[in-house]
Amino acid sequence: MTRPRKELISLADTPYYHITSRCVRRAFLCGVDHYSGQSYEHRRQWVVDRIRLLSSLFAIDICAYAIMSNHYHLVLKACPEQLDELADDDIIERWCALFKGPLLIQNYRNGEALKPYERASIADIVAVWRAKLGSISWFMRCLNQPIARQANLEDQCSGKFWESRFTSQALKSEEALLSCMAYVDLNPVRAGMAETPEQSEYTSVQERLQPRFDLLQAIDVQTECGDLLDFTAPLKPLLPFESRLTGAIQSGILFGFREYLALLDWTGRIIRDDKRGYIDNTLPSILDRLEITADQWRMNTTQFEALHPKRFNRIIPQLDTG
């Protein structure tokens, strides 16, 4: 018997969750169909685009992701405190990037004069939207439903695209978080789709190493299909790695990115009987493969902002240590 999400997701216990969604009948609806030979690889980019845009609108940070041919994995951190700093107008702007909203809200946004009871109604509406923008369930609804509609429109069919509701797994310790992130980032390697993590397409580890997300293109595609109305929020980067610093306030992943890469490389070399892929033990370490020297790493981690200045709505670092 299925359990309600309020029993599966408790932010009082942990903000970190491993989320999975699978295509109906586990068909390769986001990959290459083995029977027809039809390629649906471009849909994997749809999912990545939607994840990054929604993360920028919701109080949800992305720790890791891997978009496979018939399912995807997400490691999310719910950060409802991010919404506390936003004014009501900011909440309205974010929500109306996805939904038109009631006529009362439209009149308010158009600057029309409103009566006191109408303003009170708006305050109640905004309170509901504020809660939804911090909800993993609403994040997943806004992710899966548009992808399903877009795919069905492309296939000129109707019916379910995802086999069921998303699954969620609470990650209640640093060990669980890092283990899950490594599992997610290594999915293409384990599936035999890539030889190394840096070659794994549509994964967070590749995005961190070789940032290639095109914000303008993502907005254009989502707007064209009607799943995005007006996106003006700054693009939120993936949740950064932060080495342990005594006395410092930690807001990211409590682990160094260099150490995470080494952990990922070591884990990927372990041969598993139930998986056909692994990293070849004859390959040099991932830090050597990426030609990251100790001096270069020190400069990237200690002078990151100076070396990689931020741009409006984009972050395009040479080596994204976040």
- By percentage, how much of the chain surpasses pLDDT 70? 78
Indicate whether 174 belongs to any domain.
Answer: yes
Report the length, in residues, of the chain.
Answer: 322
Top pLDDT among 110 and 302 is at: 110
pTM above threshold 0.85: no
**Residue 1: is its pLDDT beyond 60?**
no
Whether 255 and 125 map to the same domain: the answer is no
Pick from 198, 302, 167, 314: nearest CA to 243: 302
Look at the chain and report how many structural domains it folds into. 2
**Weakest-pLDDT range from 104-108, 109-113, 138-142, 289-293:** 289-293
In a domain, 111, yes or no: yes
In this structure, are 172 and 161 located in the same domain? yes
Mean pLDDT, residues 263-278 taken together: 74
The Cα 126–Cα 100 span in angstroms is: 14
Q: In the predicted model, is pLDDT for residue 290 greater than 50?
A: yes
Residues 66 and 197 in one domain: yes
101 or 249: which leads in pLDDT: 101
Angle 93-208-313 (CA atoms, 0-180°, nearest 5)? 30
Q: Give me the mean pLDDT over the 272-282 stretch.
A: 66
DSSP string, 17-82: EEEEEEBGGG--TTSB-TTT--B-THHHHHHHHHHHHHHHHTTEEEEEEEE-SSEEEEEEEE-GGG
Is there a single domain that holds both residue 213 and residue 256? yes
Residue 271 lies in a domain: yes
pLDDT tens digits, 147-188: 999 999 999 999 999 998 899 999 988 888 988 999 999 999
Residue 7 belongs to a domain: no
Whether 203 and 278 map to the same domain: the answer is yes
> Which pLDDT score is estimated for 102?
94
* Collapsed DSSP state (helix, strand, coil) of residue 208: helix
Question: Residue 34 — pLDDT band, cuts 50, 70, 90?
Answer: confident
Same domain, 284 and 196: yes
Domain limits at 112? Answer: 88-132
Instruction: Determine the Cα–Cα distance for residues 149 and 225; give it in Å rounded to an integer.
Output: 9
Confidence at residue 322, expressed as pLDDT on a 0 to 100 scale: 39
Does any domain span residue 318? no
| 163 and 117 belong to one structural domain | no
Q: Are residues 123 and 263 in the same domain?
A: no
Residues 272 and 263 sit within 8 Å (Cβ to Cβ): no
* 64 shares its domain with 118: no
Last-in-domain residue among 132, 160, 194:
132
Does residue 153 belong to any structural domain of this protein? yes
- What one-character DSSP code corresponds to residue 250? P
The confidence band for 311, taking pLDDT boundaries of 50, 70 and 90, is very low
Q: Which pLDDT tens digit goes with each residue over 58-117?
A: 999 999 999 999 999 999 999 999 999 899 999 999 999 999 999 999 999 999 999 999
Structure-token pair, residue 142: 């806004």
CATH number at residue 249: 3.30.70.1290
Q: Are 229 and 101 in contact (CB under 8 A)?
A: no
Q: What tokens were used for 201?
A: 């397409």
The pLDDT of residue 171: 92
> In the structure, what pLDDT confidence band is assigned to residue 133 with cuts at 50, 70 and 90?
very high
CA triple 83-315-238, angle to 5 deg: 55
Verify that 152 and 108 share a domain, yes or no: no
Collapsed DSSP state (helix, strand, coil) of residue 253: strand
Q: Is the pLDDT of residue 55 over 90?
A: yes
145 assigned to some structural domain = yes
3 lies in some domain: no
The CA dihedral of 143, 145, 151, 156, to the nearest 10 degrees, is: -170
Q: What is the mean pLDDT of residues 265-284?
A: 71
Which residue has 């942990």 as its token pair? 14
Q: Is the pLDDT of residue 306 over 70?
A: no
The answer to whether residues 27 and 33 touch, using CB atoms and an 8 Å cutoff, is yes
Please tell me whether residues 65 and 138 are part of one structural domain. yes
Rounded alpha-carbon distances, angstroms, from residue 230 to 95, 107, 235, 244, 315: 10, 17, 14, 39, 20
Q: Which of 242-246, 251-255, 295-299 has the highest mean pLDDT?
A: 251-255
Same domain, 251 and 175: yes
**40-50 residue pLDDT tens:** 999 999 999 99
Is the per-residue pLDDT at 304 higher than 50? no
Percent share of the chain, pLDDT over 90: 57
